[in-house]
């Protein structure tokens, strides 16, 4: 019989809770955008500082990790971003950090990677987020894909261009017509405008002051990409840049954007100890790979895997936050699960087609919006955040609503914790 030493404690997996999430307003990439001339790392620093300001009961030295994602890890998005952003934000030098790249699912991976650390007992409180300044760093700029991708035909050349993969998805699912994707895009704009009108977006936005030559300072407090009032006729007139007579346009896809997001996560025990709010409890997460040529289908296998891990069915999900990289990709997910294009559970506040998709940052935007919807609708017990990921992947996180009457993640009382500790040592 092997003996593993007398000192090691028995480990139990701990509950991970979403405490708070913020983001900068999203901008349009390019020299006319609000963040032209602004550094990417400064955008993430704004988010970290705002999280600390909003949660004054959290001592900065209690943060155990800062995980920040960027897709293009160079220039002002390079240099181990989690560590440099922590230092720039004024967190104590004892707080470590690291950088992450999973393309569009960067911030989502920052959340799940650190959530694993919380569950394992390595962390109590973390900051996880992402930033993408696509004006400073166009997607793929400076990258050097291995020539084997082409010479050995490991992937179709089209797979390296996300717009082409969206056209491929239309080919695979002919029932998803351009008419449907345009109608979905119009609805996304309408829902975002309604959410702004109801004050549902503004509470989690961090105002960002920017300075441009000859214009002085501007305080940016709303998203730049939305085009409220967009009509089907407007979208029908747009060109199809990825294919002649194609179906993907600038109107039914997310644009090129700049922005940053950050979230606070904690163990349920640490949240109770520090008096931090609990907005959601993480139930499960999953990542899946698909053919890079149809990367937009990625959320389907990722969601099946996450549901299986959680012991849930798609019918248990009361709210969906799906990243709208392309309308066709959202519709392929909805069709697979038998969900209507206009189902009120889906993207209640609109999505990336309207608000923008600064690649690595978007995962936390989905979470922040889901948390807001959970609070507004206690009848919903479970929700998911899901997205397709460049190079053929999908990512899904399932969350539980603490406001639901059957919420299973109540923080243990001191007596229950003591009893559990006795049981572990028995």
Q: What is the per-residue burial (b if ≥16 Cβ within 10 Å, else e) of 55-70?
A: beebeeebbbbbbbbb
Number of neighbours of residue 421 by Cβ within 10 angstroms: 13
Query: Encoding tokens for residue 409?
Result: 């993640």
- Residue 370 CA to residue 387 CA, distance in Å, equals 14
Burial of 31 (0-12, 13-18, 19+ CB in 10 A): exposed
User: Reduced to 3 DSSP states, what percent helix, strand and coil does the chain have, rounded to the nearest 5?
Assistant: 40, 20, 40
Which one of the listed residues 47, 104, 137, 372 is annotated catalytic?
Answer: 104
DSSP class per residue in 330-377:
HHHHHHHTT--TT-TTB-TT--HHHH---GGGHHHHHHHHHHHHHHH-
Based on the residue annotation, tell me whether 3 is a catalytic residue of this protein: no
Residue 388, phi then psi, degrees to nearest 5? -85, 155
- Residue 287 CA to residue 112 CA, distance in Å, equals 10
The pairing of beta strand 125-133 with beta strand 257-267 = antiparallel
Based on the residue annotation, tell me whether 104 is a catalytic residue of this protein: yes
Q: Would you give the DSSP letter of residue 326? A: B
221 contacts 287 by C-beta, under 8 angstroms: no
- Residue 106 CA to residue 357 CA, distance in Å, equals 12
Residue 267 Cα distances to 13, 53, 74, 78, 121, angstroms? 10, 20, 33, 29, 9
Residue 61 Cα distances to 95, 126, 127, 350, angstroms? 7, 11, 12, 37
Which one of the listed residues 133, 170, 357, 372 is annotated catalytic?
Answer: 357
Which one of the listed residues 133, 170, 372, 388 is annotated catalytic?
Answer: 388
The dihedral built from the CA positions of residue 366, 368, 372 and 374, taken in this order, carries a sign that is positive
- Residue 274 CA to residue 58 CA, distance in Å, equals 6
3-state secondary structure of 114: helix
User: Within 30-139, where are the H helices?
Assistant: 40-54, 81-88, 106-120
Based on the residue annotation, tell me whether 357 is a catalytic residue of this protein: yes
Active centre residues (catalytic)? 104, 357, 388
């Amino acid at each position: 019989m092997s003996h593993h030493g007398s000192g090691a404690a028995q480990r139990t997996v701990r509950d991970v809770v979403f405490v708070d999430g913020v983001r900068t307003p999203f901008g349009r990439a390019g020299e006319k955008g609000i963040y032209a001339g602004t550094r990417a790392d400064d955008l993430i620093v704004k988010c970290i500082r705002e999280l600390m300001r909003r949660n004054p009961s959290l001592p900065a030295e209690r943060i155990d990790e800062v995980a920040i994602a960027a897709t293009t890890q160079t220039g002002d998005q390079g240099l181990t971003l989690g560590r440099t952003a922590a230092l720039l934000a004024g967190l104590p030098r004892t707080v470590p950090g690291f950088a992450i790249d999973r393309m569009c699912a960067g911030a989502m991976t920052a959340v799940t990677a650190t959530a694993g650390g919380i569950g394992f007992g390595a962390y109590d409180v973390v900051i996880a987020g992402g930033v993408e300044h696509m004006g400073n760093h166009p997607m793929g700029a400076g990258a050097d894909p291995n020539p084997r991708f082409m010479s050995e035909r490991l992937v179709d050349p089209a797979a390296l261009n996300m717009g082409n993969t969206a056209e491929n998805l239309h080919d695979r699912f002919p029932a998803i017509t351009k008419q449907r994707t345009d109608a979905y895009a119009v609805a996304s704009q309408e829902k975002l405008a309604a959410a702004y009108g109801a004050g549902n977006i503004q509470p989690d936005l961090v105002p960002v002051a920017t300075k441009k030559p000859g214009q002085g300072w501007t305080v940016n407090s709303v998203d730049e990409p939305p085009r409220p009032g967009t009509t089907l006729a407007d979208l029908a007139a747009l060109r199809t840049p990825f294919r002649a007579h194609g179906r993907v346009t600038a109107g039914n896809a997310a644009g090129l954007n700049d922005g940053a997001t950050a979230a606070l996560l904690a163990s349920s025990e640490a949240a109770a100890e520090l008096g931090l709010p609990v907005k959601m409890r993480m139930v499960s997460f999953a990542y899946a790979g698909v053919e890079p040529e149809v990367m937009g289908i990625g959320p389907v296998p990722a969601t099946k895997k996450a549901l299986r891990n959680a012991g849930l069915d798609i019918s248990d999900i009361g709210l969906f936050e799906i990243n709208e990289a392309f309308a066709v990709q959202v519709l392929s997910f909805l069709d697979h699960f038998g969900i209507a294009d206009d189902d009120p559970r889906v993207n209640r506040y609109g999505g990336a087609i309207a608000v923008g998709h600064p690649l690595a940052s978007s995962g936390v935007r989905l979470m922040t919006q889901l948390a807001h919807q959970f609070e507004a609708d206690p009848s919903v017990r479970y929700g998911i955040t899901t997205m397709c990921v460049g190079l053929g992947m999908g990512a899904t996180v399932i969350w539980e609503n603490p406001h639901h009457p059957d919420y299973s993640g109540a923080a243990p009382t001191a007596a229950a914790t003591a009893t559990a500790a006795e049981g572990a040592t028995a």
